[in-house]
Amino acid sequence: MNLPAIFLLPPQSPGRVALAFAIAPLAGTAGLAAIAAMISYFTGLSWRETAMGVAAVTQVGFFVFALPPTLLLGIPAYLLLRNAVQPRLAWDMLAGALLPTIPYALLLPWALHGMSVWEAAFWFAIAAVLGGASGWVFWLVAGWRPREVARPRGARPWPLARPTALPTRPD
Protein backbone atom coordinates (compact mmCIF):
# COMPACT_ATOMS: atom_id res chain seq x y z
CA MET A 1 0.00 0.00 0.00
CA ASN A 2 1.51 3.31 -1.07
CA LEU A 3 0.66 5.95 1.48
CA PRO A 4 1.77 9.58 1.41
CA ALA A 5 4.96 10.08 3.40
CA ILE A 6 3.15 12.23 5.96
CA PHE A 7 1.24 9.17 7.21
CA LEU A 8 4.49 7.34 7.90
CA LEU A 9 5.30 9.88 10.60
CA PRO A 10 3.99 9.00 14.04
CA PRO A 11 0.64 10.56 15.01
CA GLN A 12 0.86 13.97 16.67
CA SER A 13 4.34 14.62 15.27
CA PRO A 14 5.12 18.31 14.67
CA GLY A 15 5.06 17.94 10.88
CA ARG A 16 1.65 16.30 10.83
CA VAL A 17 0.20 18.78 13.33
CA ALA A 18 1.50 21.77 11.34
CA LEU A 19 0.03 20.33 8.15
CA ALA A 20 -3.26 19.67 9.95
CA PHE A 21 -3.47 23.27 11.16
CA ALA A 22 -2.83 24.44 7.60
CA ILE A 23 -5.39 22.14 5.93
CA ALA A 24 -8.23 21.88 8.47
CA PRO A 25 -9.54 25.48 8.12
CA LEU A 26 -9.82 24.94 4.37
CA ALA A 27 -12.28 22.06 4.87
CA GLY A 28 -14.89 24.21 6.57
CA THR A 29 -14.34 26.98 4.06
CA ALA A 30 -14.87 24.55 1.17
CA GLY A 31 -18.13 23.42 2.76
CA LEU A 32 -19.22 27.04 3.14
CA ALA A 33 -18.41 27.67 -0.52
CA ALA A 34 -20.51 24.65 -1.54
CA ILE A 35 -23.46 25.89 0.54
CA ALA A 36 -23.14 29.39 -0.96
CA ALA A 37 -23.06 27.92 -4.46
CA MET A 38 -26.20 25.85 -3.81
CA ILE A 39 -28.06 28.83 -2.37
CA SER A 40 -27.03 31.00 -5.33
CA TYR A 41 -28.06 28.30 -7.80
CA PHE A 42 -31.46 27.71 -6.24
CA THR A 43 -32.25 31.42 -6.02
CA GLY A 44 -31.77 31.76 -9.79
CA LEU A 45 -28.66 33.92 -9.90
CA SER A 46 -26.50 33.95 -13.01
CA TRP A 47 -23.22 32.08 -13.06
CA ARG A 48 -21.27 35.34 -12.75
CA GLU A 49 -23.25 36.45 -9.69
CA THR A 50 -22.90 32.97 -8.24
CA ALA A 51 -19.13 32.94 -8.74
CA MET A 52 -18.73 36.39 -7.19
CA GLY A 53 -20.94 35.46 -4.26
CA VAL A 54 -19.10 32.19 -3.65
CA ALA A 55 -15.74 33.98 -3.81
CA ALA A 56 -16.89 36.62 -1.33
CA VAL A 57 -18.40 34.08 1.07
CA THR A 58 -15.31 31.90 0.85
CA GLN A 59 -12.97 34.78 1.64
CA VAL A 60 -15.07 36.02 4.55
CA GLY A 61 -15.51 32.47 5.83
CA PHE A 62 -11.80 31.74 5.71
CA PHE A 63 -10.46 35.06 6.99
CA VAL A 64 -13.13 35.62 9.69
CA PHE A 65 -14.48 32.24 10.78
CA ALA A 66 -11.65 29.80 10.02
CA LEU A 67 -8.18 31.31 10.20
CA PRO A 68 -8.36 33.68 13.22
CA PRO A 69 -10.00 31.13 15.55
CA THR A 70 -7.48 28.53 14.44
CA LEU A 71 -4.50 30.80 15.09
CA LEU A 72 -5.79 32.54 18.23
CA LEU A 73 -7.68 29.70 19.91
CA GLY A 74 -6.98 26.40 18.17
CA ILE A 75 -3.20 26.31 18.39
CA PRO A 76 -3.05 27.40 22.07
CA ALA A 77 -5.84 24.96 22.95
CA TYR A 78 -3.97 22.15 21.20
CA LEU A 79 -0.72 23.01 22.97
CA LEU A 80 -2.42 23.13 26.39
CA LEU A 81 -4.53 19.99 25.98
CA ARG A 82 -2.26 17.69 24.00
CA ASN A 83 -0.83 16.10 27.14
CA ALA A 84 -3.98 16.30 29.27
CA VAL A 85 -6.43 14.69 26.84
CA GLN A 86 -5.68 11.72 24.64
CA PRO A 87 -6.20 12.73 20.99
CA ARG A 88 -9.49 11.30 19.78
CA LEU A 89 -11.78 12.04 16.88
CA ALA A 90 -14.57 13.23 19.19
CA TRP A 91 -12.34 15.80 20.93
CA ASP A 92 -11.02 17.16 17.65
CA MET A 93 -14.51 17.46 16.18
CA LEU A 94 -15.84 19.14 19.34
CA ALA A 95 -13.00 21.67 19.31
CA GLY A 96 -13.52 22.21 15.60
CA ALA A 97 -17.23 22.81 16.14
CA LEU A 98 -16.64 25.32 18.93
CA LEU A 99 -13.92 27.38 17.25
CA PRO A 100 -15.94 28.96 14.38
CA THR A 101 -18.95 29.56 16.61
CA ILE A 102 -16.99 31.93 18.87
CA PRO A 103 -16.52 34.70 16.26
CA TYR A 104 -20.08 34.10 15.06
CA ALA A 105 -21.35 34.60 18.62
CA LEU A 106 -19.28 37.78 18.91
CA LEU A 107 -20.65 39.07 15.60
CA LEU A 108 -24.22 37.94 16.37
CA PRO A 109 -25.67 41.37 17.20
CA TRP A 110 -24.27 42.69 13.92
CA ALA A 111 -25.45 39.61 12.03
CA LEU A 112 -29.00 39.83 13.39
CA HIS A 113 -29.57 43.10 11.56
CA GLY A 114 -32.21 42.15 8.99
CA MET A 115 -32.15 38.47 9.97
CA SER A 116 -34.59 36.52 12.09
CA VAL A 117 -33.44 34.61 15.14
CA TRP A 118 -34.12 31.32 13.34
CA GLU A 119 -31.94 32.30 10.42
CA ALA A 120 -29.15 33.29 12.80
CA ALA A 121 -29.51 29.95 14.62
CA PHE A 122 -29.39 28.14 11.29
CA TRP A 123 -26.10 29.81 10.31
CA PHE A 124 -24.75 29.24 13.82
CA ALA A 125 -25.48 25.52 13.40
CA ILE A 126 -23.91 25.55 9.92
CA ALA A 127 -20.75 27.10 11.41
CA ALA A 128 -20.66 24.38 14.09
CA VAL A 129 -21.15 21.55 11.56
CA LEU A 130 -18.50 22.91 9.19
CA GLY A 131 -16.16 23.40 12.14
CA GLY A 132 -16.77 19.79 13.15
CA ALA A 133 -15.84 18.77 9.60
CA SER A 134 -12.63 20.78 9.98
CA GLY A 135 -11.95 18.95 13.25
CA TRP A 136 -12.42 15.66 11.43
CA VAL A 137 -9.90 16.73 8.79
CA PHE A 138 -7.51 17.81 11.56
CA TRP A 139 -7.81 14.36 13.15
CA LEU A 140 -7.29 12.64 9.79
CA VAL A 141 -4.07 14.52 9.14
CA ALA A 142 -2.65 14.85 12.67
CA GLY A 143 -3.84 11.80 14.53
CA TRP A 144 -5.02 9.03 12.21
CA ARG A 145 -2.66 6.21 11.51
CA PRO A 146 -3.49 3.57 8.90
CA ARG A 147 -3.73 0.10 10.36
CA GLU A 148 -1.16 -1.21 7.87
CA VAL A 149 1.41 1.30 9.10
CA ALA A 150 0.56 0.96 12.77
CA ARG A 151 0.75 -2.84 12.68
CA PRO A 152 2.05 -4.51 9.52
CA ARG A 153 0.08 -7.42 8.10
CA GLY A 154 1.07 -10.70 9.71
CA ALA A 155 2.53 -9.05 12.80
CA ARG A 156 1.51 -10.29 16.21
CA PRO A 157 -1.25 -8.32 17.90
CA TRP A 158 -0.35 -5.77 20.51
CA PRO A 159 0.41 -7.40 23.85
CA LEU A 160 -2.49 -7.18 26.21
CA ALA A 161 -2.16 -6.85 29.93
CA ARG A 162 -2.30 -10.32 31.36
CA PRO A 163 -4.33 -10.78 34.50
CA THR A 164 -2.20 -11.68 37.43
CA ALA A 165 -3.12 -14.36 39.88
CA LEU A 166 -5.12 -13.06 42.78
CA PRO A 167 -3.23 -13.21 46.04
CA THR A 168 -4.60 -15.77 48.43
CA ARG A 169 -5.29 -15.00 52.02
CA PRO A 170 -3.59 -17.19 54.56
CA ASP A 171 -6.19 -18.83 56.78
| DSSP symbols for 82-151 | TTTS---HHHHHHHHHHHHHHHHHHTHHHHTTT--HHHHHHHHHHHHHHHHHHHHHHHHHHT---HHHHS
Q: What is the mean pLDDT of residues 55-77?
A: 84
Tell me which residue range forms the domain holding 92: 5-150
> How many independent structural domains does the chain possess?
1
* 132 assigned to some structural domain: yes
* 168 assigned to some structural domain: no
Question: Given pLDDT bands bounded at 50, 70 and 90, which one contains residue 153?
Answer: low
**pLDDT recorded at residue 161:** 47
* 21 assigned to some structural domain: yes
* 41 assigned to some structural domain: yes
What is the overall mean pLDDT for the chain? 77
pLDDT digits (tens, 9 = 90+) for 68-112: 888 888 888 888 877 777 777 888 889 889 888 887 778 777 666
* 160 assigned to some structural domain: no
* 155 assigned to some structural domain: no
**pLDDT recorded at residue 145:** 66
Tell whether the model's pLDDT for residue 138 goes beyond 80: yes
Cα 43 to Cα 61: distance, rounded to the nearest angstrom: 21
